[in-house]
Amino acid sequence: MRQSKFYVPTLKENPAEAEVQSHRLLIRAGYIRKVAAGVYTFLPLGKRSLQKIENIVREEMNRFGAQEILMPALQPKELWEKTGRWDAYGPMMMKLKDRKGRDFALGPTHEELITTLVSLDVRSYKELPLNLYQIQPKFRDEPRPRFGLIRAREFIMKDAYSFDVDEDGLKESYEKMRKAYNNVFRRVGLKFIAVKAHTGLIGGSDSEEFMALAEIGEDSIFVCSNCGYAANRELAKSKFTYKWPEEDRALTKMHTPARMSVNDVAQFLSVPETMLIKTMIYRTEKGYVAAVIPGDREAVETKIQTALGVNNVELINPDDFEKLGLPFGYVGPVGLKEILPGVVIVIDERIVDFKNGVTGANEKDYHLTGVTYGRDFVADIVADIAEAKDEDACPNCGEAIKEEKAIEVGHIFQLGTKYSESLDACFLNEKGERKPFFMGCYGIGVSRILSAAVEQNNDDRGMFLPLPIAPFELHLLLLNPADKLLKNTAENLYELLSNNGFEVLYDDREDVTPGVKFSDADLIGIPLQIIVGKKFLEESKVEIKIRSTGERVLVSTENLIEYLNDWKNNEYSKFSAVYEG
RNA sequence: CGGGGCGUGGCGCAGUUUGGUCAGCGCACCUGCCUUGGGAGCAGGGGGUCGGAGGUUCAAGUCCUCUCGCCCCGACCA
């Protein structure tokens, strides 16, 4: 492709609207343009990268037996009402009406559609297992679109759905997708890690997320480098122990005026924060919950959801405290049920041995000391509800776990019969009995991969995508088109490289200085630059610059193709699949 | 949805506090000359009515009201 005719509007300055590197660079380098918050156009460079990512995804899905289809973005309300998700998804769905006033949504996901589809066409166990996927835009009216492509309201997603006769079949399908996903993320060149995950709105039992490591990641994951344990903060288990005073102390009410925070109380009473027990009050669809956790840790709402089997968990606000007759900042589990009848008390499993702790006294300006679990109060539920922290002990092997920030680029779920039952999607088994499909669903944020890759591969001059997803393989720079020899050389090289199967962007622009070409090239970040300029005149060799490392070598034109083939093979071998289909 | 910030040529910004030659700067763009290994130089030129609506005033980019959009921090997710 001749750059003089190629639409690559690069920007010299950072766009004011973009804060994170990947967002800035994708705009500056002419990969994307914003249309509205969380809505983007892909320019030729961006589209080419996207296409490469899609093809890798496609190849791996096909390799593991999935078949590509295409479903509409536009979906009628009725389907969503059957599963109850028209309301559950709520404002996250982009809703609209047709001219007759019929309600539609732009699909945020496709479980309803695919399940209905398959239930109509698949009648027998003989046709199972089946795995169907598509690559297509999804619409989610995110409360807060962010970071360009990373949290967009319209984005490209690969979603796959598997249908099996039973649990074992589902596990097998799931396992295949796990392999496919590992291949995909290796092949697109991301530094990633697979973690245990919370299922959220999609539902189902088991799920794993594929996380691209990045500072700006919105997720926290905990990873054990010793045994390989890895989990999202939303459900990461960890071991930690706090020391409690041995002797039996009496429950004592202490005057702690205007000391509401853990920190204040600990200082005031001259005890470590770990002696304090926090009580957080949440509202759920089944009533109030008091989460009793260590003073120096946060409660994790998704863990509370799991422990109680509820969907909504919301911290109550200070106004609510007053209405409920609770003293804000002084709530504790002892005697709580008398003030708030019906409250479910949940205690974190790692502190059930606590003795002589400090809690709120449920009275303004007072705390209790000497609080001992089992003696002074008992919880209704003992569960893992407190957050894990960096350097906690691994739940499996006991080594220290590390916290990492990451971007979720893929998520696989074992749904079971959640959707097939609510949509009455059944098949006949060998005995002629009607059975609901066992389903799995599997998502990849295709456009998000692009952002994540840029986030992992950039410097102060621009980005450098891994070869498998870079828009071109080579960037041929003709520095001085006015020089006949140089121009001829570059033109010939362009033809030679193209004829040898390389994807080349050829900067043949005549009205642009070398400095601009260098800057644009580094910004756009095509993996390898071939520079035809002064050095060629001096040494009769072209200069090759590896964008990511800045490394430069001189290669004669005769040896160029061989050199490039070696480089290319070597580069691709770094990003090869690990699982066979 | 709560908190904070911002909307002025294509992009990045100044001007708003203290209404009145304030519509300006840099980049980009167009023409010409010149230059060609790290976003060149000189000369000339085109382009905005200040997010939108309403109001106050002799006078509004500047003050008031409403409204729309965008970004950042928190609760949600590929």
Same domain for A156 and A124? yes
Burial classification of residue A193, based on how many CB atoms lie within 10 Å of its CB (0-12 exposed, 13-18 middle, 19 or more buried): middle
pLDDT at A334 over 90: yes
Q: What is the mean pLDDT of residues A219-241?
A: 92
**Is A327 contained in some domain?**
yes
Same domain for A186 and A81? yes
Model pLDDT for residues A15-29, shown as the tens digit of each residue: 999 989 999 999 999
Same domain for A517 and A477? yes
Alpha-carbon distance A112 to A238, whole Å?
A: 36
pLDDT of A261? 82
Q: Which runs of consecutive H residues, i.e. helices, occur in A284-342?
A: 301-308, 318-324, 336-339
pLDDT at A64 over 80: yes
pLDDT of A327? 87
Model pLDDT for residues A88-125, shown as the tens digit of each residue: 788 889 999 999 999 999 999 999 999 999 999 999 99
Residue A435: count other Cβ atoms within 10 Å of its Cβ: 15
Which nucleotide is closest, CA of A143 to its C1'? Answer: B76
pLDDT of A302? 86
Which nucleotide is closest, CA of A13 to its C1'? Answer: B12
Same domain for A184 and A90? yes
pLDDT at A393 over 80: yes
Which nucleotide is closest, CA of A536 to its C1'? Answer: B37
Alpha-carbon distance A181 to A60, whole Å?
A: 8
pLDDT of A24? 95
Domain hosting A504: range is: 472-573
Q: Which residue has the higher pLDDT, A270 or A451?
A: A451
Same domain for A260 and A141? no
According to DSSP, the residues that pair with A495 across neighbouring strands are: none
Q: What is the mean pLDDT of residues A125-136?
A: 97
Evaluate whether A532 touches A477 at the Cβ level (below 8 Å).
yes
Last residue of a domain, one of A349, A383, A417: A383
Whichever domain contains A370, its CATH number is 3.90.960.10
For the ranges A142-156, A202-216, A539-553, which has the lowest average pLDDT? A202-216
Model pLDDT for residues A461-503, shown as the tens digit of each residue: 999 999 999 999 999 999 999 999 999 999 999 999 999 999 9
Which nucleotide is closest, CA of A18 to its C1'? Answer: B71
pLDDT of A312? 78
**Is A325 contained in some domain?**
yes
pLDDT of A202? 60
Q: What is the 3-state secondary structure (H, E, C) of A90-121?
A: HHHCEEEECCCCCEEEECCCCHHHHHHHHHHH
Alpha-carbon distance A143 to A192, whole Å?
A: 26
Same domain for A423 and A274? no
Residue A580: count other Cβ atoms within 10 Å of its Cβ: 8
Alpha-carbon distance A338 to A207, whole Å?
A: 39
CA A470, C1' B40: Å apart? 31
pLDDT at A293 over 80: yes
Evaluate whether A294 touches A274 at the Cβ level (below 8 Å).
yes
CA A24, C1' B48: Å apart? 26
Whichever domain contains A532, its CATH number is 3.40.50.800
Same domain for A566 and A539? yes
Supply the mean pLDDT for chain A: 93
**Is A9 contained in some domain?**
no
pLDDT at A47 over 70: yes
Same domain for A314 and A196? no
CA A190, C1' B28: Å apart? 35
Evaluate whether A420 touches A437 at the Cβ level (below 8 Å).
yes
Residue among A546, A534, A551 at smallest CA distance from A571: A546
Categorize the per-residue pLDDT at A212 as very low, low, confident or very high, splitting at 50, 70 and 90.
very high
pLDDT of A283? 86
Same domain for A48 and A174? yes
Q: What is the mean pLDDT of residues A271-294?
A: 89
Structure-token pair, residue A123? 């009648």
Alpha-carbon distance A555 to A560, whole Å?
A: 6
CA A573, C1' B77: Å apart? 33
Q: pTM for this one?
A: 0.94
pLDDT of A205? 65
Last residue of a domain, one of A352, A383, A414: A383
**Is A390 contained in some domain?**
no
pLDDT at A295 over 80: yes
The sign one gets for the Cα dihedral A292, A295, A301, A302 is negative
**Is A175 contained in some domain?**
yes
H helices then E strands: how many in chain A? 16, 31
Q: What is the ipTM of this complex?
A: 0.94
Determine the protein residue whose CA lies at the shortest distance from the C1' of B40: A513
Helix/strand/coil for A323 = helix
Categorize the per-residue pLDDT at A557 as very low, low, confident or very high, splitting at 50, 70 and 90.
very high
pLDDT of A257? 86
Alpha-carbon A417 to chain mean position: 25
Same domain for A492 and A550? yes
Whichever domain contains A452, its CATH number is 3.30.930.10
**Is A466 contained in some domain?**
no
Q: Which residue has the higher pLDDT, A288 or A157?
A: A157
Same domain for A146 and A33? yes
Task: Quote the number of domains for chain A.
Answer: 3
Q: Which residue has the higher pLDDT, A307 or A200?
A: A307
Which nucleotide is closest, CA of A533 to its C1'? Answer: B37
**Is A152 contained in some domain?**
yes
pLDDT at A434 over 90: yes
Chain B bases under 7 Å from protein CB? 1-2, 11-13, 26-28, 35-40, 69-78
CA A482, C1' B42: Å apart? 21
pLDDT of A203? 60
Same domain for A435 and A476? no
Categorize the per-residue pLDDT at A305 as very low, low, confident or very high, splitting at 50, 70 and 90.
confident
CA A451, C1' B61: Å apart? 38
Which nucleotide is closest, CA of A480 to its C1'? Answer: B36
Last residue of a domain, one of A383, A417, A439: A383
Determine the protein residue whose CA lies at the shortest distance from the C1' of B38: A515
CA A292, C1' B57: Å apart? 62
CA A541, C1' B73: Å apart? 53
Which nucleotide is closest, CA of A512 to its C1'? Answer: B36
pLDDT of A500? 98
**Is A392 contained in some domain?**
no
Residue A296: count other Cβ atoms within 10 Å of its Cβ: 18
CA A529, C1' B60: Å apart? 54
